[in-house]
Structure 1
Amino acid sequence: MHTPDFDVVVVGLGAMGAATLYQLAKRGVKVLGIDRFTPPHDLGSSHGDTRITRQAVGEGAAYVPLAIRSQQIWRELESELESELDVQLFEQCGVLVMTSSATAPAADSAADFTKHSIELARRNGIEHEVLDAAQIRQRFPQFAPIHDSALGYFEPGGGYVRPERCIEAQLTRAQALGATWIGGETVTALANEDGLVRITSQGRSVTAGKAIVCAGMWSSELLGAPFDQLLRVCRQTLYWFKLAQPTPFAPRSPSFIIHGASEAETCYGFPPVPGEGSMKIATEQYSATSLPDTLDRQVSSAEAEQMYRQLVAVNFTGVTPQLVKSAVCAYTVTPDSGFIIDQHPRLANVTVVSACSGHGFKHSAAIGEALAQRCVDGRSDVDLSAFSLQRFSSGQAL
C-alpha cells in the first residue's frame, strides 16, 4: 500500500464537515477539507444567521446527547477564540416549543412533538417548564394570539447558534491546528485504490486512508446507490419581518417552534437580534422536491404574503407585514427524517454523514467530535448506531 497524501479527507465543509475537520485537527490528524464553494456560504443548508439549539430534541432520544455535547463544544470554541469573536457562537435565550391550533391535530403529529420534548426532558434531567396558554402570553406577550388550548415546553438552556460564525470558527481553528482546506473545488469521484481512498476533484487527485463525506444536497450525485434513492432535496424559505414600535417582545425572548394541526400551520423562529428590528420566522415543507443545481433561490412576494397571513398574523402581535429580507436554504431529507452516519456500502473507508433532514446544525459539533474519535480511537463517546443505513432495509425507524 502506498503512503497516502492525507490521513483523512473531508468532503463538504458545512456544519458537519467543518466540525469534523476541526476535531480531526485537534487530534493531530493530517487532514484535508474540500468544498465546492468557499465556506461559510449561503448555497447549502448551513446559513441564515441563526439556528435553534435545544437539549430535549423532540425528533428522538438518540439526538439528546449530541445536542448537549454540541452546546459544550461551542462554549469551548468561544473560549479558544475569545479575542477573535465579536459575538457569541451560542446565545442561550431559551427555547419555547408549543402546540397551538384551533384545529385538533392528528393523533400522531403536532401534539406528540411537544409532549415528547417534555418527556425527554424529564427522562434526561433537563431543566424545563410546562406552560399553558395564559402563562405563555404573560411571560412572552408577542404570542398573545395563540389559541387557548396551547401547550408549551420552555427550556431555558436552549437558544440559538450562529451557523456562519460556527463554521468559520471551526475552520479557523482547524487551520491553526495544521489542517488544510480548499474552497471553490468540487469533488467529482471517490474510489478505492491500493487499500486507500482516491478523492478526485476539478483541481486535484489525492489519496487518503479514510474519507468522510458531508456533501449535503450534492451527496446523491457523488455517492450513487443507495443514496440516490434515499435522499430528497427540499427547498425551504426564511423570512425576516419588521417589528412594530413599540414592540411587545420581552427583553429576553426565546427561540420558538410552533406546531399546528398540519405542516402548513407549523413554523419556527427566533427572537429579534439586537440592532436588526425584525423577527426571523420559517416553515418546513417536504412535499416538493428540488434539484441542487436548479434550486429556486429567490423568495417571491406571494410566498412572503402567504407566510405573514397564515403564520405570523395568527401567532404573533407586534410584527408587521413588511419584509426586511428573505433567504432560501435546502434540507436533504431521508425517508424517516433521521440522519445517515454510516460506512458507504460499496466504498471501503468512506463514511457518509448525510442527510441531516433539516435539524442537523444543533448536533453538528458533537457529530464532528464523534467522527474524529472513531477515526483515531476506533470508537466514539456518543452512540451513533441509530443513524445506520441498515434501518432502511430492516424497516426500523428512528
Structure 2
Amino acid sequence: MSKTIITLRKKAISQGRMSLYLDFYPPVWNAAANDYTRREFLKLYIYQKPADQHQKLSNSENLHTAELIRARRQNEVNKSEIYSAFEKEQLRIQAIGKESFLEYYKNLGHKKIGKNLCIWNSAFIHFETFLKGKDLLFNEVTVTLIEDYRDHLLKAKSLRKNRKTLSRNTALSYYNKIKTTLKAAYREDKLKTDINAKIGSIKEMESQRNFMTLEETRRLFATPCPKLIVRRISMFSVLTGVRYSDIAKLTWSELHYIEGDGHYIIFRQKKTEGTASIPISDEAFELLGKRRGENEKVFKGLNKWDVDRALPVWVALSGINKHITFHCFRHTYATLQLTAGTDIFTISKMLGHKSVKTTQIYAKVIDGKKREAANRITLE
C-alpha cells in the first residue's frame, strides 16, 4: 500500500485572502462524507499582501497552526498503516458505535410492503416517542434501554384518535419489530452483543377467534348471497384457509397442476412475506372459473367494500347469530380440519404459519368444544 503524502496548500478567495487546506495523495476515506477525498479545508486564512504588522502576525500564526495540523494528520495516516488487527477492529467497532441505530431501524422498515409497512411505521413512531425525539447510537443500545421500552409499550396510548391504551398483542407486535432490528444488527456485526437474546418478551394474549361449525357453514352457503363473487371467495377461503389479502391478489400464474397429484397455489403471502405452496381440492378449484391470462387476477372485479357490505347481510339472512368477518373463514377452515382429524402440524403448513405455536390456538378451541360436549351428559 502506497504511503499517503499530505501537503499544505493555499487557495485564493475574496478580499485578498487565501484559504489554507490539506491535500492528500492518494485520497483518504472521509467517514462523514462516506467517500474518498483529497482535500480538508482548515478554516484558516492568510492575506496575500499583508498591509500591516497585524496582518503579518496573523499570517504567521495561521501558517504555524496549519502546519501543526498537517503534521498531526500525517502521523494519523501513517499510524493507520501500522495498526494491528486488534487495533483496527477496535477502531471499526468505535466507528460503528457512533452510527445511528434509530436510522438503521427506520431503513429496515422501509423495506417492508403493504400492511406490514404500516405496522413498522407505527412501531417506529412509538420508539421515537419513547426516545423523546433524541437520536440513538449503536453504542447506546443496552438491555436496560430495550426493556424500558417494553414497559413503555405496555402503557402507551394508540396513535389513533381514540387514544386508547395499546392492546397487549399490539404492544407485542411493535416490540417484535425492535427485536427483529436487534437481531439484524447483531447479525451484521453492528452490535457487539446479542441484546435480543438477553431481553425479556411480552406474552401474547389469546384473542377470541370466531368460527363456524360445519352445519353453520353449509347453512351459510345454502343461503343466497347479495354478491356472487363474495360467496365464491368465502367458499374458497373455507376450503383452503387462504387470507382475503392473498385471495385478492391471486393471479393465474400462481395456479399450478401436478400430474397425479392435483392443483396447487404457490404464492408469496402478503402478511408474512413468506412463500406458501398449498394443495387445493377440486371443489376449491371449480370456484376459480375459466383460466385467463397468466398475470390476470383470478377473482376479477373483487373489492373489499363489496365484501364488507354484503357479508353481514348474508350471515344475517342465514340465521347465524355470530359476528362473522371474512377472516373467520380462515378460522373455520382450521377448526373444521382439526375436527375432521387432520394433525396440527399439517394444518400449520397449510395455513402458512411460521410456527406451530400459532396454530395451537385452534387446538385449544376444539378441546373446549370437547369439554362442552362431555358436560352435556349427566346422570344426576
TM-score, with length taken from structure 2 = 0.21
Larger helix proportion, structure 1 or 2? 2
Larger RCO, structures 1/2 (Cα 8 Å, 6+ apart):
1
TM-score, with length taken from structure 1 = 0.20
